Amino acid sequence: AQKVTQAQTEISVVEKEDVTLDCVYETRDTTYYLFWYKQPPSGELVFLIRRNSFDEQNEISGRYSWNFQKSTSSFNFTITASQVVDSAVYFCALSEAVQGAQKLVFGQGTRLTINP
């Protein structure tokens, strides 16, 4: 069975600090996809990134970066120079690769608070 674990329930940092959100996953599939979503106070789940299991290159998008390591089954998310607007709940998710189907398995979420 697939499982995603976000061990950090809550993180609080001061603005401009760097912060890393951990995500560890379990799957028996050799082909799978990993996602990060952000849930701001408005409630919507905002898509941040999708990564397939064959692409282990790290990705950087502005202040956001993602470190995918198959050897440790981790897909960690780092925010550099955090800002108050980054405050949200962040979810990591996993889906298997099945033709014509997609079901996301979510972690418990990490509530990130950036203090001014």
Partner 1 sequence: EAGVTQFPSHSVIEKGQTVTLRCDPISGHDNLYWYRRVMGKEIKFLLHFVKESKQDESGMPNNRFLAERTGGTYSTLKVQPAELEDSGVYFCASSQELGLGGNTIYFGEGSWLTVV
Q: Would you tell me which residues interact with partner 1 (CB under 8 A)?
A: 31, 33, 35, 37, 42-47, 50, 52, 91, 93, 95-109
For residue 82, the minimal CB distance to partner 1 (Å) is: 23
For residue 17, the minimal CB distance to partner 1 (Å) is: 27
R_g of the chain computed on alpha carbons? 14
Q: Which of 64, 68, 66, 65 is nearest to 55 (CA)?
A: 68
Distance CA 112, CA 107 (A): 15
Nearer to partner 1, 76 or 109 (CB): 109
For residue 16, the minimal CB distance to partner 1 (Å) is: 30
Q: Which of 107, 111, 112 is nearest to 24 (CA)?
A: 107
Nearer to partner 1, 52 or 69 (CB): 52
